[in-house]
Structure 1
Amino acid sequence: MFTTRPLTTLLLPLLPLLLLALFSSSATPTPTPLSSLLFTLPPLLSPTAEIYLPLHPSQPDEQHQHLLPNPIPGGPEPPPHRWSTSPLNTPFPGVIIRAATEADIVATIRQANAHGVPFLATSGGHGVNRALAGLGKEGVVIDLGKMDSFRLIPRGRAGEGRYWKGDVAVVGGGMRTGDLIDWLWAAGRETTTGVCGCTGFAGVVLGGGHGLLQGRYGIGADQIVGARVVLGDGEVVEVDVAREEGRDLLWGLGGAGHNFGVVSELRVKVYEVGEGRKWWAWQIFVFAGGRLEEVYGVAARMMETQPEGVVVWSAWMMMPEIDPVKPVIAFTIFFSGSLDESRRYTEPISSLGPNGYGEGETEYPGLAGVLGAGTDDQLCQPQGAAFMRGIDLDHYDLGALRNWYNTFSEMLAANKALAGSFCMLEGYSMQGVQAVPPESKAYPHRDKKLLFAPAIFYADATNSSLAQEAVRWGEAMRTAAFGTAQRRTYVNYAFGDESLEAMYGYEPWRLEKLRGLKRKYDPENRFRFYAPIV
């Protein structure tokens, strides 16, 4: 259990004794770096910032798998739970600072440095990178969830040395993807975001930011035109494409941004939603797994003429009403336009005669719910543990897909505890992505048209042997899916044992530039808990 800042404020005269009791495991109270930090930090925070402290840090880790407190009646709402609670890839911090202002971030970082305490900033959930667990119990999580401001600037400045003629949204570093989509939609605007509603918008785009609109506008990182960044020493820098100073940092934020600072604010390109682009059609075709080669052979041909407003998103999962033994293929096509218009494009897959079928139409904000990735859907709920491994490819390799599918089937048959797992095969449109020069951002995988990922779920997040089994099966599936292709991994889906080249690019100049940025902007390696550049 945790207490919140209002409670600690009431008990401020007793805080020294309380902290000594909380953070010392020895018979004689001895201050720790973290408890010392908490003597000095509270007076420096804004009135609406919140502090969350564990009441029983001496209990085993499994008692702390959820980072956050039970709500105190009449008190502030706690930060949202993480979705991945495995001890292999979840931080178990000694304190959570829920920042309300940029100054709160600055104060926390400076005090953490003064007391030798590591820190990690978060803006949402879904982190599965094993580096997260390196934070340790003496670490601080800086939760940005309260910093979810939004404002629209008509005809904002942007572009490489020119003026961006569209609008710009100024987005707080803690804005969640689903909330941003809703804010923009209410204003008649849209931009490329991630799909899952409960992820932090900034966290997604700092790793590149694949999304349903990337065929039209490019990836999320391509939308960044400015940012305010708190560096590892607490200095605040502002970068903008119209300024020469800091342009190298802006380049790094577009694909490797977790490595350089805490982004307190982003400025991103947004676009008016045309009258004919408000509605999207979706069709789901379900096939038995034995038809894999047939289905993806057709998908490969369809990909050759895939319009910018089409996304192909398939998943392998258990669906007993179709096949009680083997996972099925749920093949979903999203189409920017009406259902009747979409049928011309989907006819090749429809003509295969699926074993199951569903269809519908929705405005763009409803698409996350179709995928089961809305903020109220199961994917966003704080339960169980999850592992993912990104697999970036440029074509459907039918032999590799069959090997991957067979390995996935073997895993499900071998351990029923992993029955909730699934595999994602994301086929976004690439016109907008490949229109951007590959050297213009840190994101390295513009030539890869497909994003695959096994997502292994299990309910008992404290079961370390099950966690290790999930890791083993995940690696076996990754190996099968790559076949003979050079390994490349979308950094937001990286588990953390991938090479730097796989995550950040095989071009020597690209890694050299990233390492130079790391030396310049984070020489003390403060930001090392998510896919770190080492």
Structure 2
Amino acid sequence: MNSTTLEAMRTALRGPVIGPQDPEYNETRKLYNAMIDRRPAAFVRCADAADVRAAIGLVRDSGLDLAVRGGGHSGPGLCLLDDGITLDLSPMRWVRVDPQARTAIVGGGTQLGDLDHATHGFGLATPAGIMSTTGVGGLTLGGGHGHLTRRFGLTIDNLLAADVVLADGTFVTASASEHPDLFWALRGGGGNFGVVTSFTFRLHPVDTVGVSITLWPVDATREVLRWYREFLPAAPVELNGFFAALAVPPGPPFPEEIHGHKMCAVVWCWTGDPDDLGDVLARVSEPGPPAFHFATPMPYPVLQAMFDELIPKGLQWYWRGHFFDQITDGSLDVHLKYAENLPTGLSTMHLYPIDGAAARVGKDETAWAYRDAVWSGVIGGIDPDPANAELIRQWAVDYWEELRPHSMGGTYVNFIGAGEDQDRVRATYRDHYDRLAEIKRTYDPDNFFHANQNIAPAGAGRAPSDP
């Protein structure tokens, strides 16, 4: 990018424009995933929707590539392009709650912790993720699931409207009554259709929740999964519980004698009567005696931030995912094998339940194509040491490959890992892909927004590969 374009951006925008010569450049280009090391031509930090419109116009006129960053949690680092422009929404980090209407309007750069803090003040929440540092934008546009999904659905099931800047700079509001085709596509179609400058969410009464963590020895993985696959889908939707393979973190609430031990676990969240949590989880000993069981009431935002310090920004990450409609007998040995062989202390596998309220939404009501899935699985190789990058990547890929025959063929789009081909994106959208491609042609015919899990405009051929 030449200096004239850089200065034009600095003149036109209220937010700062950070180039390679600026002292904050190297810090700015750091992502949650430290495995990503790219050098954009500039970061454009947008203060508001007017900045977004101006930036898009300048980038389009310059012929440079554009990527969009909200929270910076993208596993494959889709928010950075070498020699491209990153449109950074982090200054647009705000929440406005209407407690009477039970809605929240949320800026495009907001993180989940901001949303949870603002809504919790009114005893309200919406289902979104399991970490407070995740960006609201990327999570929502991919679909969004979390601790409240079985009771209140996916994040997109609670999205009421979105303000969007399109590729030609037009500003529109997408909702059930305005640009309904765009609204349909935004609910699961990723960042393909424009830059969302604000989201409007429906909120639900959620305040203090019951939180429980149950650990079993790793060699009980098969028995626990057999029990879990029957127990949770039959449980009240007020109970959410994601299954995990992990090494026990060295700290409370876990006793020192199990620190570092490989275990299988379920992290429970109960939004029913707090006094009923003990009865609801009375059966946790059925697959075998737990090595540890902990239960306590907890403010919902505290649960959302529980893992933030364990896996902070700046670690090496490689992840891949699958959708499952069942936990097959044939997959049990696979899970045991890779749980026993976790490559590092932070590497893990999670199975997030996406049944209950999420399954009651019609298959064609949103771009999310897997309403028949029961679990969204993710395999994460994680470690602070760059020397272990290939180790954790290979473990995740091997685990993913062995689970593939037991999966439904697609995945949560935010769990598509670096290096997966375009066919994986098509499989994730099933027969919704062609409709998404038509909507893409309407709103972004030149594929200006292509730094994402890309859906090419209809008639344009195949989408580009990962950056």
- Calculate the TM-score normalised by the size of structure 2: 0.88
Contact persistence 2:79–2:86 (CA under 8 A): no
Identity of aligned residues (%): 24
Contact persistence 2:185–2:439 (CA under 8 A): yes
Give the deviation of 1:36 after TM superposition: 3.5
Q: 1:433 to 1:499 in 2, by over 3 A?
A: farther
- Counterpart CA distance in 2 for 1:145 and 1:293 is 43
Contact persistence 1:333–1:346 (CA under 8 A): no
1:189 aligns with: 124
- Counterpart CA distance in 1 for 2:112 and 2:22 is 33
Pair 1:446 & 2:345 matched: no
Matched ranges for 1:13-412 at <5 A: 33-46=1-14, 49-55=15-21, 68-69=26-27, 81-87=30-36, 91-129=38-76, 131-132=78-79, 135-136=81-82, 138-153=83-98, 166-243=101-178, 246-271=179-204, 273=205, 278-319=207-248, 327-337=262-272, 340-351=275-286, 352-370=288-306, 372-373=307-308, 377-379=309-311, 381-410=312-341, 412=343
- Counterpart CA distance in 1 for 2:246 and 2:99 is 44
Q: Deviations over 1:450-499 (max 9, x none)?
A: 122111112234x5xx4344333212111222334332210111114446
Give the deviation of 1:502 after TM superposition: 4.6
Give the deviation of 1:346 after TM superposition: 1.4
- Counterpart CA distance in 2 for 1:347 and 1:242 is 46
Q: Which runs of 5+ in 2 are unaligned?
A: 251-255, 456-462
**Amino acid in the other structure paired with 1:92:** R
**Amino acid in the other structure paired with 1:42:** R
Give the deviation of 1:526 after TM superposition: 1.8
Q: 1:526 to 1:451 in 2, by over 3 A?
A: same
2:447 aligns with: 525
- Counterpart CA distance in 1 for 2:432 and 2:71 is 28
- Counterpart CA distance in 2 for 1:226 and 1:42 is 31
- Once superposed, what is the RMSD of the aligned Cα atoms? 2.6
Give the deviation of 1:501 after TM superposition: 6.1
- Counterpart CA distance in 1 for 2:110 and 2:163 is 14
Q: Which runs of 5+ in 1 are unaligned?
A: 1-32, 58-65, 70-78, 156-165, 413-417
For residue 457 of structure 1, give the secondary structure of its aligned residue in structure 2. Answer: strand
Contact persistence 1:315–1:330 (CA under 8 A): yes
2:436 aligns with: 514
1:62 aligns with: none
Give the deviation of 1:408 after TM superposition: 4.7
For residue 390 of structure 1, give the secondary structure of its aligned residue in structure 2. Answer: strand
Contact persistence 2:124–2:207 (CA under 8 A): no
2:415 aligns with: 493
Give the deviation of 1:519 after TM superposition: 1.5
For residue 3 of structure 2, give the secondary structure of its aligned residue in structure 1. Answer: helix
1:420 aligns with: 346
Contact persistence 1:454–1:474 (CA under 8 A): yes
Contact persistence 2:66–2:84 (CA under 8 A): yes
For residue 333 of structure 2, give the secondary structure of its aligned residue in structure 1. Answer: helix
- Counterpart CA distance in 2 for 1:324 and 1:191 is 33
1:22 aligns with: none
2:459 aligns with: none
Give the deviation of 1:388 after TM superposition: 1.1
Report the number of matched residues: 449
Give the deviation of 1:175 after TM superposition: 1.2
For residue 305 of structure 2, give the secondary structure of its aligned residue in structure 1. Answer: helix
- Calculate the TM-score normalised by the size of structure 1: 0.78
**Amino acid in the other structure paired with 2:241:** V
Q: Deviations over 1:108-165 (max 9, x none)?
A: 11111111111211110221126556x11x111111111123223467xxxxxxxxxx
- Counterpart CA distance in 1 for 2:225 and 2:285 is 13
**Amino acid in the other structure paired with 2:91:** K
**Amino acid in the other structure paired with 1:378:** L
For residue 151 of structure 1, give the secondary structure of its aligned residue in structure 2. Answer: strand
Contact persistence 1:404–1:478 (CA under 8 A): no
Give the deviation of 1:198 after TM superposition: 0.7
Q: Deviations over 1:300-336 (max 9, x none)?
A: 2212312111111222122396679972112222212
Q: 1:187 to 1:305 in 2, by over 3 A?
A: same
- Counterpart CA distance in 1 for 2:257 and 2:79 is 38
- Counterpart CA distance in 1 for 2:428 and 2:43 is 37
